[in-house]
Amino acid sequence: MIGYVTIGTNNLEKSKAFYDALLAELGGKRAFASDRMQGYSNGQGPMVAICTPYDGKAAQPGNGNMVSLAAPDRPTVDKVHAKAMSLGAKDEGAPGERMPTFYGAYFRDPDGNKFCVFKSGK
């Protein structure tokens, strides 16, 4: 049902570098672009796009908003979380089992947007 998700940024070039490296861990690569937006896709499901706000005001993370990125396995969850930390993300929850069929890790990107990378099932 979701086609794509946009994430606001105040520094598009810095965000491109962050997401180029981070989303590559999940097979993501640049899919489309404009002067204020960069989209990423792994060829399956919804795309993730980073953008400067259309209204020209500062981007701000939403309270209660989070984007979740599906991983193929638990080691990939660990790898993506570690990559995010190495790229300057803020830890919001180390990789671990949150319930018997959900293994996840949480972080905030350099603009403060919250993400979860997870593997559902055993």
Is 90 exceeded by the pLDDT of residue 45? Answer: no
The CATH number of 4-53+66-120 is 3.10.180.10
Dihedral sign computed on CA atoms, order 59, 61, 66, 72? positive
pTM for this model (two decimals): 0.92
pLDDT score at 1: 79
Structure tokens at 18: 């962050």
How many Cα atoms sit within 13 Å of 39 on the Cβ side? Answer: 12
CB atoms within 10 A of CB 114: 20
pLDDT score at 89: 98
pLDDT tens-place string over residues 66-122: 999 999 999 999 999 999 999 999 999 999 999 999 999 999 999 999 999 999 987
Domain boundaries, the chain: 4-53+66-120
